[in-house]
Structure 1
């Protein structure tokens, strides 16, 4: 065989090895994103599991605040039934808002604020909110790396052919970037 055939075979071999390597890299990144998303869902579920106890504790002290308690329960149900990153993010934002309103209402009941069970639930909820923030950041970091990979050369060539598309970020609620005004 002549020299040209060997060069062509070597180039084809390099391209095939590069394609397999790139494919495996994309699969690993995709699985990392799925794992990070599972951690987000795990923390969202942890928060959802705290809500019935929090609602029960608050309703024991604030019977006439049923609208706020129902809003939290409804938002929790919406989060549990949502599918996909965008739907989960929207439901999560609604639940966060409903929980914030419920905790503001709790401020009006000194006996409730002094209740050991309520304080423990509020502390667990605050810790869970921190875990959710960390899980969201880790997920978004993994998505950023993956999306950058599938958009850069040469990965963009075979990523599209092999069905690797861009992933959605877990976005903050609208208005979250605005600093709230505090009036005294």
Structure 2
């Protein structure tokens, strides 16, 4: 018997192998009663074949499975396999959703770059004019694109222009009112 496999082969030891051992020893005992004490290959094989054919019948094998309660173990294994199959379905759905999300994100990141091929060197203004022409709008020569104007900062407390939170007069008024009430 291979090492660390007795728990796997135990159902066979219960019925078929124990019967095989008994039938084989009965066959050898018959040989011993017939005054054959030395067993070589020619005497072993017929005795073993007779014991084997007597042992491994459908009824004996089924009895071995019944007595070793393999049916329960098979049910446990099938239940575990069903749980694994269910988890695999859930994992496959999750992988599909994640792949869709990755595809959407990569589409945004991998935009095609547009290269302007010319034989001469272009200025920034000429390049911006070429881009504007491709987009549909045209600029006159010398006309520059409108620069972005920064909005004026507001106060964080009162949202008025001209001052910030540190210099807000609303703060000093509330502080003055709290001192006056004391």
TM tier, shorter chain?
A: under 0.3
Greater helix share, structure number: 1
Larger radius of gyration: 2
